[in-house]
Structure 1
Amino acid sequence: MDRELEVCIEIASSDSNRSGIESKPEFKTVVQRVLTGNLGCVFGTDELKEILVGSKLQLQQKMLEASDMPSFLIELVDTLEGILSSKSTNIDFQERSVSYWSQIMEQLDALGWEMITDLNADLSKVQIELSDASQRKHMLVVRFPQGFPAVPPTVEPLETPACNSEHSSLSQQLNSNALPFGQQPGLQSVIRHAEKQLEFFKEFWDVMQDIDEHTWVIDPEKPTRADRMRRCALGNHCSIQMNIDPLFPRSMPDTRLFGPANSIDPMRSKLYQNAALWDESKLPRENLEILLELPNGFPSPVNVSKDDINIECGICYSFRFDGQVPDQLCSHSKCQQPFHRVCLYEWLRSIPNTRQSFNTLFGACPYCSETITTTAPKQ
């Protein structure tokens, strides 16, 4: 301890009983009995007594349980160390808190309270609502450390898409939360950096919003601002997956078609044959409707029902199961029922006449009795 406290110890004589502790000896300073036990007594000043107010009962019990005075003294010293260290920390925090709170309040006043959607009682965390040029809402979370303003605030990164590796330097710059606060760290620097991100990704989010509003997105179930992939229903048990480049969102995306071969093969041919028609002045969704020759556009919840697109597993009757989407189809042209691999595998295993060759099962489709095959799902 950096602080000195006077503590006097009186050890009980070997022939003393519990009530026969020797009388208090003469001390040079004014002390009083603080703790008493069968091992002896602890005397101290009023200062020691005040420090131990909240711990006296606990120490008294430890003194009664101790095997000897030296072991109890170790407990006493540890307790005093903890109390004094805690009080010192509290004093330091109180001294800092006046500057800490006033600086944060100044920052929030300058920013504008209409932008604040949540604020911790101790002002350590603030949630700020930002809008991009298309009026989409984005939440920015800023945390103020106890050493603020000497220690800069930390920022939880906005939900933004990851850029491709060939543009890693730009990606790191845009997604970094190590902000250029300079000599005077503050919320204004945080907001400026966040607004640059919103401006940069504005067109990417426009493209994704158009897809979400004009197609039936079957994956991801709840897209975030960071998601670059959309899997959209095409009808007739078919779907298309597209990955949009955040840096060039109007360029032709990487695409993948899912569905029965007799349906997706003609679509794949159209996609490649019409690739030269891609027009970056149009949105990707509009371009894909042209390339795939969809006269009525993509199916969407507005113009088709869920039964029409038939994307749910024919065994568990859900689209997602344990994070997986249906990836198996009955090959019969009039059935083409989708299944989760794990559901179909377990179904076929339960049927007595199912044949097996290595890890592949051969059995009857539960809907049309057409022979259907599947392999064991990955563990």
Structure 2
Amino acid sequence: MNKAQCLRNVLESKEFNTLPIFLKGVASLIDGDESIKLESISSYLVDSQFLSELKDPIHGVDFAFGDSLRDVKCTLKDEESRLHELYITYEGVKKLKITSGDIPYAPFLDQCFSNVEELVGAFFRHVRSLQSYFYELENIDNNCVILDPIKPTFKDNFRNIRIDDKTWLYVEVTLDGYPSNMHLIGQSEVWQGKLQNGILNWDHDKNIVENITSIFDLNDHSISYKSLSEAIKPCDAEVKDDIICGICFCSELPDNLSVPQPLCQNLNCDVHFHKSCLFQWLVACEGGRPPSFGIINGSCPTCLQPISCSNNN
């Protein structure tokens, strides 16, 4: 309720039928308004030590204020000139809290810090420990067609790589820069044997992209390998825009930014599905009973061939 409406209520109320009561009501209205102002002003106040710490230059680090002096963006440049961001909130004297960032989770992100130098030091150490992780993800993004995440960042530790029109390769990268949980999505009969042999004969002297290229002979399938053809680079965005889910008929969901995947194993089925949509569809077809171990089996909504889906993204 705004101040004008509050004043109107005081003027029209039968409770304020004498001058002393009326003046008391107006005074309480003014006092309430002042307390709101003071609370609003105090939310922007910071101590001088915090400001002086931000003014002191730190090599490779830049600071920028947000909506108030309490909200600060910290940008750090690593050894390879990559930029990494943390958003900091000043919660009180010697109490700095990290609210968000574009780096993988680490325990220090949940800590409170007493000063800027302490926080930046923890940020530096974490970024320095992730150089192999950054290198592998950056190399994948620069050389392969990434279908998911839609806008990959270093915070996302996985990539869905296009192998062909109906097959994707899912790979996670550990914080040490090693591949993990690598598997195929879609009609993978042609590629499954190659992947199994490739994992058994993984060359640890090569990076992830070099191993993937060797396993799937991507030199012979340049549609999946960006650096071999300049013409394929814009295809990344086009493919993402064209893929729609056969259940919700959308490319993206409000609560899930992943794109529809070729989850049906039928070679003649070209329909993609959001994993969450397919999982809910199959559960509903089974009477709504939650599946054991998080995996549901049923029939493809399009071709009616056997299909399975897990509730893990």
Instruction: Give the TM-score of the pair, scaled to structure 2.
Output: 0.67
Q: 56-65 vs 76-85, which deviates more? A: 56-65
Q: Distance in 2 between matches of 1:272 and 1:202?
A: 28
Instruction: Structure 1: give runs of 5+ residues left out of the alignment.
Output: 1-54, 163-170, 346-357, 364-371
- Secondary structure of the residue aligned to 1:155 is strand
Letter in 2 for 1:238: T
What is the CA-CA distance between 1:217 and the residue it aligns to? 0.5
Q: Distance in 2 between matches of 1:95 and 1:156?
A: 20
Structure 2 residue 105 is the aligned partner of structure 1 residue 208 = no
Q: Pick one of 197, 205, 225 that aligns with 1:300.
A: 225
CA change 1:301–1:81 in 2 (3 A) is same
Within 5 Å, which residues of 2 pair with 1:3-18?
none
- Kept after mapping to 1: 8 A contact 2:10/2:16: no
- Kept after mapping to 1: 8 A contact 2:102/2:153: yes
Residue matched to 1:66: 14
Q: Pick one of 113, 125, 132 that aligns with 2:71.
A: 125
- Kept after mapping to 2: 8 A contact 1:289/1:297: no
- Kept after mapping to 1: 8 A contact 2:243/2:272: yes
Residue matched to 1:327: 262
- Kept after mapping to 1: 8 A contact 2:10/2:25: no
Q: Distance in 1 between matches of 2:199 and 2:158?
A: 20
CA change 1:76–1:224 in 2 (3 A) is farther
Structure 2 residue 121 is the aligned partner of structure 1 residue 224 = no
Q: Pick one of 24, 45, 58 that aligns with 1:77.
A: 24
Letter in 2 for 1:178: Q
Structure 2 residue 271 is the aligned partner of structure 1 residue 339 = yes
CA change 1:240–1:81 in 2 (3 A) is same
Q: Distance in 2 between matches of 1:328 and 1:56?
A: 60
Q: Distance in 1 between matches of 2:301 and 2:5?
A: 75
What is the CA-CA distance between 1:94 and the residue it aligns to? 8.2
Q: Distance in 2 between matches of 1:338 and 1:57?
A: 61
Q: Which of 1 and 2 has greater Rg?
A: 1
- Secondary structure of the residue aligned to 2:205 is coil
Q: Distance in 1 between matches of 2:8 and 2:301?
A: 77
- Kept after mapping to 2: 8 A contact 1:321/1:340: no
Q: Pick one of 110, 115, 122 that aligns with 1:177.
A: 110
Q: Distance in 2 between matches of 1:81 and 1:127?
A: 40
Q: Distance in 2 between matches of 1:188 and 1:89?
A: 34
- Secondary structure of the residue aligned to 2:110 is coil
Q: Distance in 2 between matches of 1:92 and 1:234?
A: 57
- Kept after mapping to 1: 8 A contact 2:102/2:154: yes
- Secondary structure of the residue aligned to 1:338 is coil
Structure 2 residue 304 is the aligned partner of structure 1 residue 373 = yes
What is the CA-CA distance between 1:338 and the residue it aligns to? 2.1
- Secondary structure of the residue aligned to 1:123 is coil
CA change 1:225–1:63 in 2 (3 A) is same
- Secondary structure of the residue aligned to 1:135 is coil
Residue matched to 2:291: none
Q: Distance in 2 between matches of 1:233 and 1:314?
A: 16
Letter in 2 for 1:153: L
- Secondary structure of the residue aligned to 1:240 is strand
What is the number of equivalent residue pairs in this alignment? 274
CA change 1:224–1:77 in 2 (3 A) is farther
Q: Distance in 2 between matches of 1:56 and 1:321?
A: 45
- Secondary structure of the residue aligned to 2:192 is helix
Letter in 2 for 1:132: D
Instruction: Structure 2: give runs of 5+ residues left out of the alignment.
Output: 278-286, 288-297
- Kept after mapping to 1: 8 A contact 2:171/2:182: yes
Question: Which has the higher relative contact order, 1 or 2, with Cα contacts under 8 A spaced 6 or more apart?
Answer: 2
Q: Distance in 2 between matches of 1:113 and 1:310?
A: 41
CA change 1:193–1:65 in 2 (3 A) is same
What is the CA-CA distance between 1:214 and the residue it aligns to? 0.7
CA change 1:109–1:314 in 2 (3 A) is closer
What is the CA-CA distance between 1:310 and the residue it aligns to? 7.3
Cα RMSD for the two superposed structures:
4.6
Same amino acid, percent of matched pairs: 14
Residue matched to 1:111: 57
Q: Pick one of 68, 89, 92 that aligns with 1:143.
A: 89
Question: How big is each residue's C-alpha offset from its partner over 1:269-321, in whole Å with a ceiling of 9 and x where there is no partner?
Answer: 222224342232321121222233444476234426449x97855998x9935
Residue matched to 1:154: 97
- Kept after mapping to 1: 8 A contact 2:244/2:273: no
CA change 1:232–1:97 in 2 (3 A) is closer
- Secondary structure of the residue aligned to 1:339 is coil
Letter in 1 for 2:152: P
- Secondary structure of the residue aligned to 1:209 is helix
- Secondary structure of the residue aligned to 1:69 is coil
Question: How big is each residue's C-alpha offset from its partner over 1:2-55, in whole Å with a ceiling of 9 and x where there is no partner?
Answer: xxxxxxxxxxxxxxxxxxxxxxxxxxxxxxxxxxxxxxxxxxxxxxxxxxxxx9
Letter in 2 for 1:291: I
Q: 213-222 vs 235-244, which deviates more? A: 235-244
